[in-house]
A and B are shown apart, each in its own frame.
Chain A
Amino acid sequence: MHIKVGIVVFPGSNCDRDVYHVFKNILKVDTELIWHKRDDLRGFDAIILPGGFAYADRLRAGVIAAHSPVMQEVKRLAKDGLPILGICNGFQVLVESELLPGAFMRNDTLRFICRWVSLRVNVDSKRSPFTRLLSNDQILNIPIANQEGKYYVDDDTLNLMHKNRQIVLTYTNNPNGSLQSIACICNEQGNVMGIMPHPERASDPMLNPLNYGNDGLLIFKSLLAYLGCDHHA
């Protein structure tokens, strides 16, 4: 089955080409970069909002990008159930677009943090198109690189998120003060997921530090498995 993945590029996105590399060159999937002014995304089977500093995080990370023309279309597609993944800054955009609950604050250290971290999977494989190849309690090693990575959400919503199994990944050793060590969440339907670590940076065997595997690739391969390209799995 032919599938096509779209990667949204905002002014200041800087991981767009990295995610493109993983889909195009490692997973051999038809992939296209989408400039943020485009408002028609017909023909895509999944949309990725990559990391970076859209609008240099001015005002608040992700808030200006959330008002880009492309986001109206992304919101519509989200409602239709299209798989949508926001990575790092893309997660922040999803939160600011109210496609995912919560908010981000400065890390507890008040500094940017770039490091590999361990994550625990808290959902079963059916929870989201991006978790098809993951299993509950599995440990993944994927790097983070963020300054406003501390996740926060109010108690009522948090309870609801627990009830709905929306907390997908948690840090095993909370690096930035995120509430309940939350690193990755999905919406109630499961088709929209936001992840603070960078799975594209743990997808190319040449780049993994010693003793680490391609854990990030499992998230992208999950999508392909969900879309019916099982030969990638």
Chain B
Amino acid sequence: MLSNEELEYLKHKLGREPNSLELSMVEAEWSEHCSYKSSKPYLKAFNTQGKYVLIGPGYDAGVLAIDDMLITVHIESHNHPSAVEPYGGAATGVGGVIRDILSMGSRPIALLNGLRFGDIEKDSSARWLFKHVVRGIADYGNCIGVPTVAGEVEFDNSFDNYCLVDVACIGLIDKDKLVLMQADAKDLIIIAGNSTGKDGIHGASFASKVLDDADSNRSAVQIPDPFMGKLLIDATMECVNARCVKAIKDLGGGGLACCLSELADKLGKGMSIDLANLHLREHMSVEEIMISESQERMLYIVEPSRLSTFKEIMDKYEIPYSILGYVTDDGYLDIKYDGRKIAKIKASIVANAPIAKRKARKPKYLEEIPVREPDGYNEGNIAEYLLSLLSDPSIASKEWVYRQYDHEVGLRTVIKPGYHDAAVIRLSDNKFLAVKLDGNSKHCYLDPYNGAMGCFAEACRNVIAVGAEPIAMVDHLQFGSPEDEHVFYTFVESVKGLADYGRYMQIPCVGGKVSFYNETKYGAIKPTPVVCILGLIDSYSKIVKDRAKDGDMLVIVGLTKDEMGGSEYYEYIHKIQSSNVPRVDLEYDKAVMHAMLELIDGRVVRAIHDCSKGGFGVALAEMCINSSIGAYVNLDRIPNTCSRLDNLIFSESHSRFLIAVSKDNLSRVEYTLSKYSKGNNGIHYSVIGYFNSSDSIVLEHGSSTIGLSLDKAIDAYSSNIPRLMDHA
């Protein structure tokens, strides 16, 4: 529903009352989901320029140019639908982001997902959502033959009875084939794909309000059809190769209403269409036709002289299509039904919602949560804490998830899930893309600015750890209601944190999404910006794909501080919240990044792992688990300003890496790192131990020793999620 102000604004723009069809179209397009009316002014803060950027935010996908290839990238969420109907909601989320990539004429080559659920250890409904969301993504992605190569999963009480499902997609196309929005008067407007039905009616409006009653909203969830999705991929690629389409746009949130108005507005053109021409699944009113979000539908603009080629391709794949109308020069959406005029409205009015001015006020909890330390902590329990953290579902192995995804189809996946910090996909024989998606709702809740900045930094570290230089990001900003000034404050702060990092590090934002109203009757979710990073590797030999070996030395880069707020150690083990969230020191972080890239360039490191959730302790254990190898570490050698031993081991301070290096290369690694360690804000590094063929991880501190059996660590890390999910 439009607010009174919005309705007045619309009447003023029109110079008359809108009719009911026009009103439905405007309502769909002016929903928060489609219009970004609350967030738009703030998103201008992002740096969108960069060496590789061809097209930044504002299109269906961002575009990067690498050699004679173009890389497209986009991210979408499908939170509301997935919370109501997890299988269909997640599957259609995949379908939707794939079609955004297709809209640029590019072939989807990789999928990533970021998933968030409630406490699966306690809550069977969280397990139910988790199970069916993963199955929905798997069934859709596997069927269409696009590999799901990376992702992340986080569990937190604030997602109880809800879930966040973010899907990012990477596309690839030859430089000369990119389909840009072009159209001339008399060009044909064609809708191809599934017939339009009553599913997903009011989907965009549904996603733009608080989820109150899950069951009654099920009709707003769309139905996935991966088979048609796959046919649309193949047919679209053939159309692009035959150069018979001038513009492509997918029908997503807000259905035909949003697709037509946004496209016409972007083209600076009008459209004359007759809804009676559209292939329907069932009898529908014109309002329903305009806002239905039936899946697997694409709009193509085709020059009349190329129509026969277009038809041949659609007929080959037996894809139904309708010639809806044609492009005009007057800027109006002129809508008829069977020749009868039913609406005529300027596309620019529909496509440009008035900005909603939102208030932002610092929430009380941000003032009230102090810096705290856990009571009853005992140094003798550290090995136990570490084992516990390895089984923490937010940290534990996600093999149960990625085994269900075909992550190899397409013959591009060089680094597959479960091996390293990011996936690496082959673009050509000498160009590789590292991709990773990251978020951290616990950090962002306790400190939206530093938490969001930390997510960006952490995602960058993950691609650096496989040998890549971060070259672009897309983000997805997920919050509660923007009408709540406290929630809106966390949004504004998060955007600032991301934008400041991007500008300082010169990593452009090439696209993104905003999703508000992520609330249930229990309240808003924790602020959850997620960041998807693309990193470039310009030589196969630079990919860091090896594992630590017996006799390798262990080097830590970075400084460990008393930054325990939002750490898994505090939240999962001790169940306490503290405000001292890790902060990124921009200058320091950049120096660490440059030092790491120089090491990678020199090809002197064996394996790299970044320190994040669970801190140094978990990072070391993960390296040992992945390499099936023991390690000895002298904790006193770790550069730190920590007041306690548990902080030293579990702090999630940023800008830290663990490096495994052969003895032969150690002096070269130390030489490079020493260059970056000079001056006031020089980086810290230290050789802290070595990997060995023993079956344990040994941490020495002063005269005491903490020991952990490798078998126990492997068991804790790998068995918890399967154990929880096998009977879910």
A residues near B (Cβ < 8 Å) are 11-12, 14-15, 17-18, 21-22, 35, 51-53, 55-58, 111-115, 143, 145, 147, 198, 200-201, 204, 206-207, 209-210
| CB pair A204 B411 closer than 8 Å | yes
- Of B223-231, B556-564, B639-647, the one contacting chain A is B223-231
Most buried by B among A21, A57, A207: A207
Cα of A187 to Cα of B76 in the assembled complex, Å: 47
Min CB–CB distance B434 → chain A (angstroms): 15
| CB pair B408 A114 closer than 8 Å | yes
| CB pair B316 A35 closer than 8 Å | yes
Beyond known contacts A114-B404, A206-B414: 4 more, CB 8 A cutoff: A11-B227, A15-B145, A111-B403, A112-B405
| CB pair B545 A210 closer than 8 Å | yes
Min CB–CB distance B286 → chain A (angstroms): 32
Residue of B nearest to A18 (CB): B411
Contacts of A52 in B (CB 8 A): 145
Residues 175-212 (chain B) with a chain A CB within 8 angstroms: none
| CB pair B419 A209 closer than 8 Å | yes
Q: With A111-B403, A111-B404, A206-B426 in contact, is A18–B230 under 8 Å at CB?
A: no
Contacts of A201 in B (CB 8 A): 408, 411
Contacts of B80 in A (CB 8 A): none
Main secondary structure of the interface of A (DSSP, over half): mixed
Residue of B nearest to A51 (CB): B409
Q: With A18-B410, A209-B419 in contact, is A114–B546 under 8 Å at CB?
A: no
Most buried by B among A57, A114, A210: A114
Q: With A56-B227, A111-B403 in contact, is A11–B318 under 8 Å at CB?
A: yes
Cα of A21 to Cα of B318 in the assembled complex, Å: 26
Q: Beta-carbon contacts of B386-427 to A below 8 Å, as 1s and 0s?
A: 000000000000000011111111111110100100000010
Contacts of A111 in B (CB 8 A): 135, 138, 403-404
B135, B139, B408, B419: which contacts A145 (Cβ < 8 A)? Answer: B408
Is B144 an interface position by the 8 A CB rule? yes
Min CB–CB distance B113 → chain A (angstroms): 15
Contacts of B412 in A (CB 8 A): 207
Min CB–CB distance A132 → chain B (angstroms): 24
| CB pair B142 A145 closer than 8 Å | yes
Min CB–CB distance A172 → chain B (angstroms): 18
Cα of A55 to Cα of B317 in the assembled complex, Å: 11
Cα of A147 to Cα of B145 in the assembled complex, Å: 14
Cα of A114 to Cα of B405 in the assembled complex, Å: 6
Is B476 an interface position by the 8 A CB rule? no
Contacts of B408 in A (CB 8 A): 114, 143, 145, 198, 201, 207
Contacts of B139 in A (CB 8 A): 112
Cα of A111 to Cα of B136 in the assembled complex, Å: 11
* 21 A–B contacts from the bound complex (CB under 8 Å): A11-B230, A12-B231, A14-B144, A14-B145, A51-B409, A53-B142, A53-B143, A53-B226, A56-B230, A58-B227, A112-B139, A112-B403, A114-B403, A114-B405, A114-B407, A200-B411, A204-B411, A207-B413, A207-B414, A207-B426, A209-B419
10 pairs of A and B residues whose beta carbons are closest in the complex: A14-B145, A56-B227, A53-B143, A145-B406, A18-B411, A112-B404, A114-B406, A201-B408, A112-B138, A111-B404
Is B365 an interface position by the 8 A CB rule? no
Cα of A57 to Cα of B414 in the assembled complex, Å: 28
Residue of A nearest to B317 (CB): A11
Contacts of A21 in B (CB 8 A): 411
Contacts of B127 in A (CB 8 A): none
Residue of A nearest to B399 (CB): A115
Is B547 an interface position by the 8 A CB rule? yes
Most buried by A among B139, B145, B318, B419: B145
Q: Beta-carbon contacts of B257-290 to A below 8 Å, as 1s and 0s?
A: 0000000000000000000000000000000000
Cα of A114 to Cα of B142 in the assembled complex, Å: 10
Min CB–CB distance A231 → chain B (angstroms): 23
| CB pair A15 B409 closer than 8 Å | yes
Cα of A38 to Cα of B226 in the assembled complex, Å: 25
| CB pair A112 B406 closer than 8 Å | yes
Contacts of B547 in A (CB 8 A): 210
Residue of A nearest to B540 (CB): A206
Q: With A201-B411, A207-B413, A210-B546 in contact, is A12–B227 under 8 Å at CB?
A: yes
Min CB–CB distance A20 → chain B (angstroms): 10
Cα of A53 to Cα of B135 in the assembled complex, Å: 16
Min CB–CB distance A28 → chain B (angstroms): 15
Cα of A224 to Cα of B226 in the assembled complex, Å: 36
Min CB–CB distance A198 → chain B (angstroms): 7
| CB pair B317 A14 closer than 8 Å | no
Residue of A nearest to B543 (CB): A206
Q: With A112-B138, A200-B411 in contact, is A56–B405 under 8 Å at CB?
A: no
Residue of A nearest to B408 (CB): A201
Min CB–CB distance B315 → chain A (angstroms): 11
Min CB–CB distance A56 → chain B (angstroms): 4
Cα of A15 to Cα of B405 in the assembled complex, Å: 15
Contacts of A11 in B (CB 8 A): 227, 230-231, 317-318
Min CB–CB distance A219 → chain B (angstroms): 16
Contacts of A15 in B (CB 8 A): 145, 409
Min CB–CB distance B140 → chain A (angstroms): 10
Cα of A174 to Cα of B426 in the assembled complex, Å: 31
Residue of B nearest to A11 (CB): B231
| CB pair A147 B411 closer than 8 Å | no
Q: Beta-carbon contacts of B298-319 to A below 8 Å, as 1s and 0s?
A: 0000000000000000001110
Q: With A53-B143, A111-B404 in contact, is A14–B411 under 8 Å at CB?
A: no
| CB pair B406 A12 closer than 8 Å | no
Residue of B nearest to A20 (CB): B411
Contacts of B143 in A (CB 8 A): 12, 14, 53, 56-57
